[in-house]
Amino acid sequence: MSKIKTAFFCSNCGYESAKWLGKCPSCNNWNTFIEEVIQKNNQPELNWQNYGSKQTTNNKAIALDEVNPNEQERIITANNELNRVLGGGIVPGSIVLVAGEPGIGKSTLFLQIGLSLQNLTVLYISGEESEQQIKMRANRIQLKHPSFYLLTETTTQSIFNEIKKLQPQLVIVDSVQTLQSNLIDAGAGSISQIRECTAEFQRFAKETNTPVFLIGHITKDGTIAGPKILEHIVDAVLQFEGDRHYTYRILRTLKNRFGSTSELGIYEMTGDGMKEVSNPSEILLTQREHTLSGSAIAATVEGIRPLLIEVQALVTQSVYGTPQRTVSGFDLRRLQLLLAVLEKRGGFLFGTKDVFINIAGGLKVEDPSIDLALIAALLSSYEDIPLPAHICFAGEVGLNGEIRAVNRIEQRIAEAEKLGFEKIFVSRYNQKAIQPKKYSIEIVALSEVQELYQQLF
């Protein structure tokens, strides 16, 4: 009898080992290794092409100079937010992984995108829902597509047999964790099954020049479920995030071989599906209460899109011995750094205060240009004096208390001017890149944190 090849995989991170280990050397978790069958020796190797036949392709080497340098024409969808996040549209032959929490709206968004591509033959493969459930969602979205096909199947052999008959121009798989390949004798959702099924779809996408969207799950700590190689195989990784208790959703790029990785798409969940938010700055600023202290507006940039967001700070006297530091949407270590700068360079006693920071709208911001607005909100709450309603901030703060220059300053100023702001505080080192005569907004250049306090209070 032929031997069966097995290996041990970490169920948390996908680390592979020839023997069982108590502690994973990759993620340091205990008792996470599971034995899985990789392949039986007496089973022939198959791929998507020769399911049902014995045909194989013989790819030949080609000189680099013979490759056509012309860029492939992208598929432009009716969804401008998705086009921006993917770098200008769907690239033919690309394979894109979309991950997010359950109930966040992944299936709704991509069913809506598939139905909107009227000039393409679209195949929607569902391993989680029945055809009747998908039809109910399509009726709610109120879109019709004559060449939109459904397939409720989880076995890759049956899926590729159907693909060979239909020859779709776009494939959406919901979800990759439900797929099961005949090459692997393991349950659906296991490390080896996810890796093999994704590799089969990658070969299909590259050899037929058909774009594939894979919808994936995430673990309880927010990372994409499955082995890390899953993210390496695909061309782009999109994270669909947001609070289910709010209506806004954010589509963020984590990896993109065809565009920038700092792009952001914003949607609003409605009864008719996902609606694009073309000007998120107006929405993020509509619920401001101008008479309260601890609120400041930051001019940030996500990818190529300027955003004005509200930064909220609350500084109170600490009741317990150790003061609290609580943040939402911001880096806690960055907050501790800025508080140390205010204590050392400004003489403010935050060591006995509880500090709470919130980025309004559920956004998570990593742009360092938000530092100046955060310090303004902290000082406003510390002094309990509200800031003027029509001012905003764009600047990074260094350890010496200096206000450093930020990139794309003209885009930030233009966005603030468009939304009716009258004054913007920037770094003095950004003055070379600014032409004040172009703007009607007043531009105040600062070099140190102490100057900010003098200007505001």
Is omega for the bond preceding 175 within 30 degrees of 0, making it cis? yes
What's the domain range around 130? 76-278
pLDDT at residue 314 in the model: 95
**Are 25 and 86 members of one domain?**
no
Cα separation, 156 vs 196, in Å, equals: 10
Which residue, of 257, 278, 299, is where some domain finishes? 278
**Are 411 and 337 members of one domain?**
yes
Which residue, of 223, 245, 278, is where some domain finishes? 278
- Residue 242 inside a domain? The answer is yes
pLDDT at residue 419 in the model: 84
Strand order in the sheet with 391-394: 325-328, 353-359, 305-317, 295-302, 391-394, 423-427, 442-446
**Are 260 and 302 members of one domain?**
no
- Residue 23 inside a domain? The answer is yes
- Residue 119's DSSP bridge partners are none
- Residue 57 inside a domain? The answer is no
Q: What is the pTM of this model?
A: 0.73
pLDDT at residue 448 in the model: 92
pLDDT at residue 245 in the model: 65
Q: Give the annotated binding-site residues for ATP.
A: 100-107
Q: Give the annotated binding-site residues.
A: 100-107
Closest to 413 (Cα-Cα) out of 257, 301, 303, 272: 301
**Are 434 and 290 members of one domain?**
yes
Please, are residues 161 and 125 in contact by the beta-carbon 8 Å criterion? no
- Residue 226 inside a domain? The answer is yes
Number of domains into which the chain is organized: 3
pLDDT at residue 94 in the model: 94
Q: How many CA atoms lie within 13 A of 402 on its CB side?
A: 8
pLDDT at residue 1 in the model: 47
3-class DSSP assignment, residue 222: coil
Tokens of 346: 């400004």
pLDDT at residue 289 in the model: 59
SS3 sequence of 111-168: HHHHHHCCCCCEEEEECCCCHHHHHHHHHHHCCCCCCEEEECCCEHHHHHHHHHHHCC
Residue 144: give its domain's CATH number.
3.40.50.300
- Residue 380 inside a domain? The answer is yes
Question: Consecutive sets of 10 residues in the chain, 457 residues long: mean pLDDT of each?
Answer: 73 83 88 77 54 54 82 86 91 93 90 92 93 92 90 92 93 91 79 87 92 90 80 92 76 88 84 83 66 89 85 90 89 94 89 91 85 95 91 93 91 88 92 82 91 90
pLDDT at residue 411 in the model: 87
